[in-house]
Amino acid sequence: MPELPEVEVVKKSLEKEITNLSIKRVKIKDGNLRYKVKRQDIYKIKGLKIKKIKRRSKYLLIFLSNDFIIIVHLGMTGKFFIKKKNKSKQKTSFYYNLQNGQEEKHDRLIFYLSKETKLIYNDVRKFGFITLCSKRKVFENKHIKKLGPEPFDRNFNLDYFVKYINGKKRVIKDLLMDQKFVSGLGNIYVNEILFFSNINPKRKISNLKEFELLQIIKNIKKVLKKAILFGGSTIKDFKSSSGKLGEFQQHFKVYGKKGHQCSNLDCKGKVKKITISNRSSFFCSICQK
């Protein structure tokens, strides 16, 4: 479930906690992630220093002191924990809220860093991955190279939108989920963005008016910025609380709100749930035409 805002929040807290620390050793507890963690990669990063951390779409790029970059994708349930000596385990972000004990069970990798700091990668469903890449080749990486513009990029504008959709005939929700069109959005934020844009998720892109395209662009930037400000969204399956949590889910207007009254004051509609391309979509059939 981590979409751009959650990854950005993780990036910020990792940046604060592990920049300038060096990697002493790495323990693979379960390397069978989306791609198997390679032992030779682990060997290559031993002794290197963590120089800086960047985000591209939903990917984290951890720059090391030589030519290497660690590329991380959190998949659906990947998360990092930081553990310092004499301190209990801290989450790296306001992100997931875990039940007690869950963390240990799904810890997959442990990075032993300098200053007696441990960085733990935990992933319940193992859809995330961690791989090594050289700085020179990062834009040739098979994941990174196919990404479309960042939503906050000035190149992501009306001109780009109009050109991209020319001759295509998908529905708008599918397009916004497509990382080649714009990178970083997932199911949750696309639902929210279409609500604010007053556009039905099943609308064909060929039928959208120019003012509607502008609305979509504006709301993508607006919703993502606000979500980052609130520390992202916390997955709702987990119940007990410890540490700081993302709070943006409290601001959801439609996602997960089937049957709720539409949040627009003058609207008597209810939020509906339908399936589009095997994903659930929530919308108000009165406000979203």
Partner DNA sequence: TTCTTTGTTCCGGA
Partner DNA sequence: GTCCGGAACAAAGA
Catalytic residue positions, numbered: 2-3, 58, 279
Q: Among residues 23 and 254, whose Cβ is nearest to DNA?
A: 254
To the nearest whole angstrom, how small is the minimum distance from the Cβ of residue 248 to DNA? 14
Beta bridge partners of 72: 60, 130
Which two tokens mark 91? 């989450």
Biggest CA-to-CA distance, the chain: 61
For residues 272 and 262, what is the distance between their CA atoms, to the nearest angstrom? 10
Is the Cβ of residue 114 or residue 277 nearer to DNA in the bound state?
277
- Select 23 or 188, whichever has its Cβ closest to DNA: 188
Separation between Cα atoms, residue 221 and residue 47, nearest integer Å: 39
Distance of CA 29 to the CA centre of its chain: 24
Nearest CB to DNA, comparing residues 23 and 184:
184
Q: How far is the CB of 42 from DNA (least distance, A)?
A: 20
Give the other-Cβ count within 10 Å of 187's Cβ: 19
Give the nearest distance from C-beta 127 to DNA in angstroms: 5
Smaller CB distance to DNA: residue 155 or 278? 278
What's the rounded Cα separation, in Å, for the pair 5 and 1?
11
Residues that bind DNA (CB under 7 A): 1-3, 57-58, 73, 75-77, 105-106, 124-127, 142-143, 146, 167-171, 174, 177, 179, 186-188, 237, 255, 273, 275, 277-280
Comparing CB distances to DNA, the nearer of 23 and 193 is 193
Do the beta carbons of residue 98 and residue 148 sit within 8 Å? Answer: no
